[in-house]
């Protein structure tokens, strides 16, 4: 059983501030979630192939070709600030 104290410890580790009523509510909710996982773990899966997707997906690959579609002036046309052919950005400390 996930008690209120455990929920408070988890909340502290996650740096979340929760009230006592929220801790009680989350305790009940987490207990239900864990119960569902217990039910799923009881399903017999011996001999069942793992699935990546529920449907067959065919990969469509294209050749990666480098193209220059714009000039540097076109790219910098909407820049809020620029220095020569570069974007001007605030200094990072």
Burial profile 35-53: b = 16 or more Cβ within 10 angstroms, e = fewer: eeeeeeeeeeeeeeeeeee
Fold of 4-41: Histone, subunit A (1.10.20)
Q: pLDDT tens digit string along 30-53?
A: 999 999 999 999 999 899 888 777
Q: How far is 47 from 9, CA to CA, in rounded Å?
A: 40
From residue 62, alpha-carbon distances to 38, 56, 59, 65 in Å are: 44, 19, 10, 9
Q: pLDDT tens digit string along 21-30?
A: 999 999 999 9
Domain chopping of the chain, boundaries: 4-41
Q: pLDDT tens digit string along 58-79?
A: 777 888 888 888 888 898 888 8
């Amino acid at each position: 059983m996930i008690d209120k104290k455990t929920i408070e410890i988890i909340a502290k580790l996650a740096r979340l501030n929760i009230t006592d009523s929220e801790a009680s509510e989350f305790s009940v909710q987490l207990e239900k979630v864990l119960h569902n996982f217990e039910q799923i773990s009881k399903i017999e899966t011996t001999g069942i192939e793992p699935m990546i997707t529920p449907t067959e997906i065919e990969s469509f690959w294209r050749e990666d070709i480098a193209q220059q579609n714009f000039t540097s002036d076109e790219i910098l046309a909407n820049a809020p600030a620029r220095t020569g052919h570069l974007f001007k950005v605030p200094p990072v400390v």
